[in-house]
Structure 1
């Protein structure tokens, strides 16, 4: 009998509440812009995700520059702003 009453109460609660989930229901969501290299926005999400970690794995100078923007400072050993000087001119 208790299970039936509990089931009825839960059914009434579910039917009376707004069951739609929106982005504002997520406590981790906000629309504040974050100015940090790890959160660089681009087409299809973060441009930092999946970038190679070392120069020998880079396929282009542009990829190395993006990885440097994303915070991989090890790519610029002499700290002149040019990453992976073996593939990027100007080093």
Structure 2
């Protein structure tokens, strides 16, 4: 599930691993469908990514637009895109998106 989402967002394998803080082996297991047995921190970041996906559905009806938004420079983060910010603060990205949704 997470691998499909990251593919839709146009993330590289390296970006996906950096966002989740996981090893190459763990990331490949995720892309093959494994959904449990990861560290608490990795699980928390997977949950954060899924919540970002949900919040984006409220922001953008069009799937293509919401998927492109993740890689689009954003003035809220000084010209960095959401995927760059997720690497350093996935909770912050999630909270930003959810604050305007809920």
Structure whose residues are more often helix by fraction: 2
Query: Fold match, TM over 0.5?
Result: no
Q: Specify which structure has the bigger relative contact order, considering alpha-carbon pairs within 8 angstroms and separated by 6 or more residues.
A: 2
Q: Rg larger in 1 or in 2?
A: 1
**TM-score range normalised by the length of the shorter chain:** under 0.3
TM-score by length of 1: 0.21
TM-score relative to the length of structure 2: 0.20
Q: Whose strand fraction is larger, Structure 1's or Structure 2's? A: 1
